[in-house]
Amino acid sequence: MLQTTNLSFSYLNSASFDFPDIELKNNEHLLILGASGIGKTTLLHLLAGILTPNKGVITINNEVITNLNPKKLDTYRGANIGLILQNTSAIASLSVYENLEARLFFSKISNKEKVVDTILEQLDLTLVKKQKPNTLSTGQLQRLGIALGVIHRPKIILADEPTSSLDDKNCALVINLLKAQAKIANANLIIITHDQRIKNSFDNTLVL
Amino acid sequence: MNILKLSYKNIITKPLQTFLTVLILSLSIGLLLGVKQLNKVFESQLQQSLNGVDMVVGAKGSPLQLVLSAVLHIDNPTGNISFTEAKKIAKNKYVKNAIPISIGDNYKGYKLVGTTSEFIDLHKTSIENGTLFKKPFEVILGNSVAKNLNLKIGDTFSSAHGMIENALENHDENPLKVVGILKPTQNVIDRLIVTGLESIWHLHEHESHQNKTNVHNHEDNEITALLIKFSNKMGLLQLPRMINKDTQFQAALPKYELDKLFQFTAIATKAITWIAFAILLVSGISMFVSLYRMVKEQAKELALIRTYGASRNILIKLVFSQGFIIGLFSYITGVLLAFVGLQAIFTSIKNTYKQQIYLLEFSQDVLELFIFIFGIIVIATLMAIRPIFKMDISKILSNEN
C-alpha cells in the first residue's frame, strides 16, 4: 500500500517538480509514463527514499517514510524497497551468487532458506551463478538486476526503464518476470518508462 | 557474505595496486623493526659484555682498541704490559679488584685468554662440567666453544699464535687439555677459551727459547691488560688520570669508549630510521590513494549498497576494513621480513664473531609498531572516506554509463 500527497522536489540550481498524488492499494501496480527530463527518475528515487522531498508525504504500509531519520530510512529501504536500475549495476568483484548474498547481508536478511538459490532458479541464472557480472550477457545482467531488486521480498518494487533497451520479445518477458516477482513478494510494482509498448500491460497508468 | 569478505574480494580484484601498497608498506615496516632491533641488540650486547668493568689498564694506544680487545674480545690488543708494574696499580685503594688477562692466541678463531679464576666470576658463570684449570696448559671452554667445536673434557688441541685462525704458527709442542666447560651465559665468555696466566707464559716462553733471545725471566712476565672495578666513585675521578699521567700504561673507561662508539653508530641508525619513516609516510599516502581511488571508482557500487539498506557507517567500515586487510597483510609480511633478515644477520655475526645473538624485546617492538600501523590505517581511511559524506546516491545511480 502506497500513498503520496503533495510531493515536490527541486534540485539546487534547476527546475522543481511537483508530482501528482499517487495511491496504490495492496498488490496494485502502476506504470508511470513520461518523456525524459520530466522528473520520472526523481519521483522513483523519492519513493525509494534516496532523495528527500522538499515537501509532501510518502506513506508506505501506514509508515510515513518521509518522517524517518536517515538511519531508520536506510534500514527501512533495505527491507522494504526493491530498486531495479535502468543500467544494472552490481558489485564487480563478486560473483552473481555473492552479489545476491551481499544484497541480503546489507538488508540484514539471512540466506537461511536458500533464498538465493530460489531466485537464481526463478530468473534462470543458476548456470551463471559463479560468474562475475561483467561476464554476463545483457539479458542475464538485467535478470540479475531484477533478482537484486526482489530477492528480499520488498513491499514496493521500483523499476526504472526496465525495457528500454530490449526487443519486443524480451520486453514482454521482463514485464512478466517483474509481475511474477511482485506477486511472489506480495508487493506493489511501480515502473517508470517512456516505452509505449508496455502501456497495455498495466491497468493503472500515470502520465507525468 | 560480510564486510570483511567483500573487502577481501575488492582487494584481490586489484592485485597490482594491492601488491604495490603491500610491498612498500611491508618494506618500511620490516626496515623500521629491523633497525630498531639491531640497535637494541647491538647496544645491549656490548653493554652486557662490559660486565661491570670500570676501567681497563693496558699498553698505550687507542683506548677504544684497548676496550674492544680486552673487554669485548673483538679486536687485537694494543700491546703487553709488565705484570709486576700492573700489580702495583692493583694495590691502589680505589681498586676493588683487578683481573689480569693475557690474550693473543686462538684455536680455530676462538680466543685463548690467560687469566685467573676471578675472570669466570666476572662473567657471572661457573663450571658446568669438569674442574677449573690448575696446571699450565689446562683450559676450560666457553659453552659455545665446546658446542661449536664439539670438544669434550679430556680432549687436547694446539692453539695458534695471533687473533685469527691460522695454521702457520701452531704451538704444537704444548697441547692444551680441556678440563672444564662453562655454563652458557650469552656473554662474551661463551666464545672464549680460558686458562691460567701461566699457560700463556709457558706457551710463549717456549717461543722465546726457540728464537734464542731473552732467556725467560719470571720478573718479566707480561699481561695484556688489567680489568679493574673501582671500590668507590673516587676511583673514576682519580685513577685514569693518574695512570695516564704517571705510568707507562694507558687507562681506558669502557663505558665512555662505548658511548663514543654508539655516537658514531647512532648516526647510521638514525639515518636508516628516517629513511624507513620516509618510506612509511609514502606507503601511508599510497594506502590513502588506493582507498580513495576505491571510493571514487566504486562510487556506483557504494551507492548501490546504500540502496540495499546499508548506512553511511557501513560504507565507512567497508573502506576501513579494506585498509585494515592491506595493512594487516603488509604488517605480517613486514614482521616476517624483519625476522628473517635479523636471523640472517645474527647468523652471519655468529659465524664471524662466534657470538650467538638473540632478539631483544621483539614482541614489544612488534606490538608498538602494530599500534603505529593501525594509526596510519585509521588516518588514511579518515582521509579517503570524505567522498562518502558528499555522496549523492540519486545522482550517481541516474548517471548513465
Closest by Cβ to A108, choosing from B6, B309, B393 = B309
Contact (CB<8Å) A70/B307: no
Return the closest-CA partner of residue A58 out of A22, A93, A30: A22
pLDDT value, residue B141? 93
The x, y and z cell numbers of residue A119, run together, are 531466485
Per the rule left: phi > 0, alpha: psi between -120 and 50, beta: everything else, B400 is: beta
Q: Of A143-147, B46-50, B393-397, where does the model show the most confidence?
A: A143-147
What average pLDDT does this structure show over B246-252? 89
Distance (Å, whole) CA B321 – CA B316 = 8
What average pLDDT does this structure show over B67-84? 87
> Concatenated DSSP letters for B91-158?
TSTTEEEEEEEEEEEEETTEEEEEE-THHHHHTT--EEEE----STTEEEE-HHHHHHHT--TT-EE-
pLDDT value, residue B172? 67
Mean pLDDT value across chain B: 85
Q: Does B379 touch chain A (CB under 8 A)?
A: no
What is the nearest CA distance from A192 to chain B, expressed in angstroms?
A: 13
Q: Does A77 touch chain B (CB under 8 A)?
A: yes
Q: Does A133 touch chain B (CB under 8 A)?
A: no
pLDDT band of residue B314 (cuts 50, 70, 90) is: very high
Sign of the Cα pseudo-torsion (A193, A199, A203, A204, in order): positive
Burial class of residue B171 (count of CB atoms within 10 Å of its CB; 0-12, 13-18, 19+):
buried
Helices (H), chain A: 40-48, 70-80, 96-106, 115-122, 138-150, 168-185
pLDDT value, residue B212? 44
Q: Which helix (H) or strand (E) holds A190?
A: strand A188-193
Q: Does A78 touch chain B (CB under 8 A)?
A: yes
What CATH number does domain A2-207 carry, 3.40.50.1950, 3.40.50.10330, 3.40.50.300, 3.90.228.20?
Answer: 3.40.50.300
Closest by Cβ to A74, choosing from B12, B309, B397 = B309
Buried b (16+ CB within 10 A) or exposed e, A60-99: beeeebbebeeeebbbbbbebbbbbbbbbbbbbbbbbbbb
Among the ranges given (A97-101, B5-9, B43-47, B248-252), the one the predictor scored with the smallest mean pLDDT: B43-47
Q: What are phi and psi of A32, to 5 degrees?
A: -105, 115
Distance (Å, whole) CA A199 – CA B2 = 41
* Residues of A in Cβ contact (< 8 Å) with B307: 48, 50, 77, 81, 83
Find, in chain A, the residue whose alpha carbon is nearest to that of B314. A106
Contact (CB<8Å) B6/A77: no
What average pLDDT does this structure show over A137-144? 89
Work out the number of other CB atoms within 10 angstroms of the CB of residue A111: 16
What is the nearest CA distance from A51 to chain B, expressed in angstroms?
A: 7
* C-alpha distances out from residue B385 to A127, B199, B378, B396, Å: 37, 75, 11, 16
**Domain ranges, ordered by start, for chain B:** 3-46+262-398, 55-252
Contact (CB<8Å) A89/B12: no
* Residues of B in Cβ contact (< 8 Å) with A77: 307, 309
pLDDT value, residue A196? 86
Closest by Cβ to A107, choosing from B6, B309, B400 = B309
Residue-wise pLDDT tens digits, B355-382: 667 777 888 888 988 998 899 889 999 9
Q: What are phi and psi of A103, to 5 degrees?
A: -55, -45
Write the CB contacts of A205 (distance below 8 Å, at least 6 apart in sequence).
A30, A31, A32, A33, A199
Contact (CB<8Å) A91/B6: yes
Using the predicted structure, report yes or no on whether residue B217 has a pLDDT greater than 60: no
Using the predicted structure, report yes or no on whether residue B85 has a pLDDT greater than 50: yes
End-to-end CA separation in angstroms for chain B: 27
Residue-wise pLDDT tens digits, B134-192: 888 899 999 888 988 999 999 988 888 766 665 566 666 778 899 999 998 877 888 89
State percent of chain B over pLDDT 70.
Answer: 92
pLDDT value, residue B276? 83
Distance (Å, whole) CA B5 – CA B13 = 12
Q: Which helix (H) or strand (E) holds B244?
A: helix B234-246
* A29 close to A193: Cβ distance less than 8 angstroms: no
Distance (Å, whole) CA B46 – CA B48 = 5
Contact (CB<8Å) A50/B397: yes
Surface of B (265-304) touching A: CB under 8 A: 298, 300-301, 304
Distance (Å, whole) CA B284 – CA B212 = 73
Q: List the beta bridge partners of residue A32.
A: A192, A206
The x, y and z cell numbers of residue B78, run together, are 694494543
Q: List the beta bridge partners of residue B115.
A: B196
Sign of the Cα pseudo-torsion (B197, B200, B203, B208, in order): negative
Using the predicted structure, report yes or no on whether residue B77 has a pLDDT greater than 70: yes
* Angle, CA B174 vertex, CA B170 and CA B178 arms, to 5°: 100
Using the predicted structure, report yes or no on whether residue B401 has a pLDDT greater than 60: no
Contact (CB<8Å) B309/A106: yes
Among the ranges given (A37-51, A129-143, B5-19, B158-172), the one the predictor scored with the smallest mean pLDDT: B158-172
The x, y and z cell numbers of residue A146, run together, are 531484477
* Residues of A in Cβ contact (< 8 Å) with B13: 92-93
pLDDT value, residue B331? 92
